[in-house]
Structure 1
Amino acid sequence: MPFATTDDGVKLYYEEVGSGAPIVFVHEFAADHRSWEGQMRHFGQRYRCITWSARGYPPSDVPETPESYSQNRAADDIVAILDHLGLAQAHIVGLSMGGFATLHFGFRHAKRAKSLVVAGCGYGAEKQETTKFKGEAEVVARTLLGEGMQKFAEKYAYGPTRVQLENKDPRGFAQFKKELGEHSALGSANTQIGVQGARPSLYDLVEQMRALTVPTLILTGDEDWPCLAPGILMKREIPSAALSVMPNCGHTINLEDPDQFNRLVGDFVVQVEAGRWPQRDPRAVRTSITGMEK
């Protein structure tokens, strides 16, 4: 089995397929490397595609203490994958927890990013939701450690932004729930404590967003309620960002509507590779509604 080793000695299991410009897929909290199979098969026909299981997600190592997990670690683990494979740059595509890691990778390692796809990113970001979200992260961690992964999966899989997948694709949902139940309860609990519950609000990162010039695509489902306003925030503040909202979709957009997800990401990557992705025209952010201010 192929593994990359991080600077703190954690082994990360990865898979790759194809050749050409590299695309790296970064999974969400409730998933692992297997959740990107539809993208690995699709994009692997024309690109070099890589995905991996984050620390805490077997067959990657499961560090025993929450101190080994953080938002910065999640971003830097992308670097460990790139370094192990000898890649100077790559297109980085992340969903949810992976979307946060992708955004922070752009902040911390912009020169290593050909582009960023920040999908389903925003849980707990709004200021009025921060305290509630951190409290829920603690509840999730206690539930994982107290009840185990299988019982947790039976509850978590039916969240308000995940039932859309069940309604659209019952077989795909059953696979998602089964794979969630196979995760490490300890690794998932530590991820909740060290990454999810401790990460900064997107609304405190506006200055970093304004300095980001890497081509960026923000993707969200229109029923992924916690991510809608943060998606607009990122679109407004990142001068190289575009925003696309997928209709009748919840959180797991790469599983819910893989055709549309792949098309949006594919069109974006083609434009970036061609050198045709724009920076926003400053005239597009004038305070006047009509441009006819006095």
Structure 2
Amino acid sequence: MQLLHVNGYDMAYVEQGSGAPLVLLHGAMCDLRYWATQMEAFGRRYRTIAPSLRHFWPERWDGIGDDFTIQQHTEDVAAFAAALGTGPVHLIGHSRGGHVAFRVAQHFPDRVRALILAEPGGELDATLAPEPPHPGMPAGIDIFGQAAERIRCGDIDGGVALFVDAVSGPGAWEALAERSRETMRENAYTLLGQVREQRPPFSRSDAEAIRAPTLLVGAERSPPTYARILGALGRTLWQAQRVTILGTSHAMNHGNPEAFNRAVLDFLDAQPPGSLTRSLP
């Protein structure tokens, strides 16, 4: 594990391989270890780099402070990409990390060569979602708040289990390997920061600002809210492809790593090498 000092913070990261840089962003209550099943496969073709975002493991954060926000993580990742000194990077984000990756591509377009969004977390505003959410969708923000309150009160497993079952479906926590459970326990207090961050919703103008070719990755068994977000972004982004990973839910890169890795590598291998210079419509 290495450290790179950006924006006054030491970001821990691991890397494997050589070639064009490929940066992997984890989601809520995870960290750089989340991508263990991708590092070798991606590292055969790319310089694959997995950082832990601010306040995630190996830091042991207590949930106190005001610098756990989408904006802060976006600025950190943009600075991290610049500090690598390699030019624009291929950027993958899963869940909350997908939201961060989206914002990096939106606000720092010169840092992103190609974008992969694996079920990015968030909400759609009225410009992307003229119809109300389907009544069967989980009320994610309320569930997350309940989960955070359990964690705040010391019921770590109860809070993390509530969160995991909300994003991946009933029984997902029980099905997790103990190693994955321990990772989420070690990052549990980051959920306290997440429920305070007032994450902005995705809008049409946000999506239209992104000029990197984008792969949208969904999972066959995920709650329908993710498909709704992917559908709206797919209709709006400048250049987007969409793929579904079969036989798995939200943690798709763990549930079906072979299919996930193949989808990502096929997309990246098809991208032209070199600069970001493109003709805009």
TM range (shorter): 0.7 to 0.9
Aligned to 1:109: 108
Kept after mapping to 2: 8 A contact 1:154/1:177: no
AA aligned opposite 1:190 = G
Q: Provide the residue aligned with 1:138 in structure 2.
A: 145
1:55-134 residue pairs with structure 2 within 5 A? Answer: 55-60=54-59, 62=61, 65-125=64-124, 128=132, 132-134=139-141
Structure number, greater radius of gyration: 1
Identify the residue that residue 286 of structure 1 maps to in structure 2. Answer: none
Aligned residues: 270
Q: Distance in 2 between matches of 1:107 and 1:63?
A: 30
Question: How has the CA–CA distance of structure 1 residues 123 and 248 changed in structure 2, closer, same or farther, with 3 Å as cutoff?
Answer: farther
Higher helix share: 1
Deviation at 1:63, TM superposition (A): 7.7
Percent identity for Structure 1 against Structure 2: 22
* Paired position in structure 1 for 2:220: 222
| Counterpart amino acid of residue 145 in structure 1 | R
2:4 aligns with 4
Q: Does 1:255 align with 2:254?
A: yes
Q: What is the CA-CA distance between 1:4 and the residue it aligns to?
A: 2.1
Give the stretch that moved more between structures: 54-63 or 36-45. Answer: 54-63
Q: 1:211 to 1:184 in 2, by over 3 A?
A: closer
1:111 deviation in Å? 1.0
Q: Are the structure 2 counterparts of residues 160 and 192 from structure 1 closer, same or farther at C-alpha, using a change threshold of 3 Å?
A: closer
TM-score (norm 2): 0.85
The alignment yields a C-alpha RMSD, in angstroms, of 2.9
Aligned to 1:149: 156
Q: Compute the TM-score of the two structures, normalised by the length of structure 1.
A: 0.81
Q: Is the 8 A contact 1:165 1:252 kept in 2?
A: no
Flag the 1:250–1:22 CA change in 2: closer, same or farther, 3 A: same
Q: CA deviation at 1:200?
A: 1.6
State the one-letter code of the partner of 2:179.
Answer: Q
Give the equivalent residue in structure 1 for 2:268. Answer: 269
> Structure 1 residues 64, 30: closer, same or farther in 2, change over 3 A?
closer
Deviations 1:107-158 (A, max 9, x none): 0111110100011114444764699443333323222211243443344344
Stretches of structure 1 that go unaligned for 5 or more consecutive residues are: 283-294
Q: Is the 8 A contact 2:105 2:115 kept in 1?
A: yes
Deviation at 1:273, TM superposition (A): 3.6
Instruction: Report the CA distance between 1:79 and its aligned residue.
Output: 1.6
Q: Which moved more, 1:158-167 or 1:55-64?
A: 158-167
Q: CA deviation at 1:81?
A: 1.8
Aligned match of 2:209: 211
How far the C-alpha of 1:98 sits from its partner, in A, is: 0.6
8 A contact 2:214–2:241 mirrored in 1: yes
Partner of 1:175: 179
Structure 2 vs 1, CA of residues 136 and 162 (structure 1 numbering), >3 Å: closer, same or farther? closer
Gaps of 5+ in 2: none
Question: What amino acid is the match of 2:68?
Answer: Y
Cα deviation, residue 179, structure 1: 1.5
Shift of 1:106: 0.6
